[in-house]
Each structure stands twice: as structure tokens, then as C-alpha cells.
Structure 1
Amino acid sequence: MRKLIGLIPILIPPIAQAGAQIYEPLSASTRTVLQRAVSDQAISHFITLPEAESKVWLVTMSGRLKGRMPDHNEREDFLTTVHYEATRAGLDPQLVLSIIHVESGFRKYAISTAGARGYMQIMPFWVDTIGSKDHNLFHLRVNLRYGCTILRHYLDIEKGDYFRTLGRYNGSLGQATYPELVFNAWNKYWRHPATQEVAQH
């Protein structure tokens, strides 16, 4: 589990002991696709679940997250955004929650020793590569939009191999430690019936 050094949250952002995405040159076409992905307008709602199921999911996940994010409104906004951004990118929301669990411990202003920022620990070079100068990586929706877009990009590169995708996301491709941490978090804290098969990969 990644350790977070709890400093004064208002004055100094906590430091996340997480790995970091490694800069890799992108083809012009890939860069364009990713730029479009991060710039699309965001809408906070459940885009795949019927209303009854979305309420069950939200209540269930909210109960699990309450200890780490006590404020109800903040927690609901966070979870709704996670579900929207993950689903929009074709990812399982439980995977994204598990990554956030390991990467930042759900700390909005976490900064790693490598300089990665926010919930999903995004390296600042991504803003220069596929974003714009006004993108704040500590903003909830911006951070999750980047994180899910990058994760989807890596999953496509690795042809659906979650083990290698997670290693690439963390900058530790080929090593087992980080993928195992994410899968353990998935199975222990964030398992959901629809994701059991993927979580065991």
C-alpha cells in the first residue's frame, strides 16, 4: 500500500508515494485522439445504469468510502464523476476506484515524490502533451478525465492486458507489485458483482 505523508492539508499538499507514468512520444493521430478525449464536455450522471441500479451502486460505494471522505456531498460528487468518467472511457468504475485507493488514498491534493498529482496521480507532462494550460490536475473532473483517458490509452496499447496496463500506468511495466496492490484493493474494498471476473485477472 502506498504511504501518504499527512502534512497540513490546507497549506501543504500531502505527498503520495506512488509511481509515475513515463513520457512516451505519441504519434500525431494518437495525440489528436487523446486531446479530443480530455477536452470533451463532461456531464455528471450515470450513463449506463438504470436509475434503480445507479442508486444502489452509489449508496454501496458511498458507504465504503465514508471513512476516507466524510462529507456526503463531496463523496457523492466524487463517486458520480468516477462512474461517469470511467464508463465514458470504457473502463470499469471499480478499477478506477482501486487505482485511486492505491495511488493517492483518495486525497485530492496528493503529490508523489515524482510530481504526480491528484486522485489518479497524473504527471504534469500530460497537460503539455494532450491538454491545455488552464487544466488544473487537482480539479476533480480534470484529474479523473486525464486518468481515465490515459488508462484507456494504455489498455488499448496492451490489448486488454490489465496486468501490463497497470504496470505501464504506474511506470513499473513488467513488475508485479503495483498490479497486485490494485487487484487486492479491488477484491478487498471495491468489488462489485459485475466486476468479479475482471478483478481476478
Structure 2
Amino acid sequence: MTQPLQNLEQLLDRVSTVARQNERVSIEMVIESIGSRSFGPLLMLIGITLFSPLSGIPGMSFFMAAFVLLVAVQMLIGRKRFWLPHFILNRSVEHKKLQKALDWLSKPARGIDRVLKPRLTFLVQRGGSYGIAALCVVVGLCMPLMELVPFSSSAAGLALLILGLSLVAHDGLLALLATVIFGGAFSFLIIHLL
């Protein structure tokens, strides 16, 4: 049984292990390594993908939006284990590209992990986690539009990464920060589309 993740560095280490062992790394391989029972690590995975250089792959925002919506809706309805369709699970990337993105993120991950601690836990446990799932539905619905405005999907990715971290570390302050970041990205999107 996979041990629950405690921080961002552990997530990157697990994904890096999969990348070193395979020529191409599928989403299914990554999810198996981090566990499919926890909403936080899956959000972190989506956030890392959108915030990293991998977000430059055409259509990545649209694809990740579908992933966010599937996971968030399943959390809202109370599923204990997440189901994802094969078209998402089979998507893969070359291990060299993935490892380059992971290397790029490793130093910031160590710094971020130093400041994580349980705070304002009511925002990330029980009812609060449903609020986070609802926010993720909104983010997922907005992401296809973010493909039209440069860097807005990276901001949404950062917000999703922080939301995932808040669930893993039981840090409600991070959930508030992610809400502010997404609010800023949404405002930026609206200004540029009008």
C-alpha cells in the first residue's frame, strides 16, 4: 500500500522514480505511484503539470481541465477511490521531458515544504474540502478559455498545486492563498477577453 504523501518533495520523488524506470511515463503510472485515493496529490500532480514547462504542450490546458473536473466532481459526490477514463490514464510523456520538469521544480519544492504546517484546518477538512472541490470545478470550467490568454493556465496550475498542498499538509492558509491566486488569474482572463 502506498504511504500517504506529506509534502511536495515526496510527490516529486515518486514521480521521478517512475520516470527513471520507464521510457514513456503515463498518467496511470504516476497515479499508481502516488495513490488514487487522495484528492490532494492528484491536484498537486495537475498543478505541477500546468505550472511546469509541460504546460507549453498544445492542448495541455484543455486536457488538464477534463482531469480536474473528473477528480473534483468525484470528490463532491463522495467517492473514496477516483476513477479516470483510459483516454486520460493512457496519456504519456517522454521520461526526459518529465524529468526535466521535475528537476526544474525540485529546488522550489524544498523551500515550499519548509513553510508547510497545519493551520486553519477547518478549511481543508470535512466540509472545507468540499469547498475546495467546488473551486476546482470552477477552475476546470475556466481552463479551456485560459488557453487563449498566455500564462493564465500557469496561474491556474499554481492555484491547483497550492490547493493540493493545502489538503496534503492540512494547511488552510494555503487554501486561502490559492483562492486569491485563482481570483487574480480569473480577473486577468476576463480583462484580456473583453
| TM-score normalized with structure 2 length | 0.27
More helix by share: 2
| TM-score normalized with structure 1 length | 0.26
**Greater relative contact order, per chain length (Cα 8 Å cut-off, separation 6+):** 2
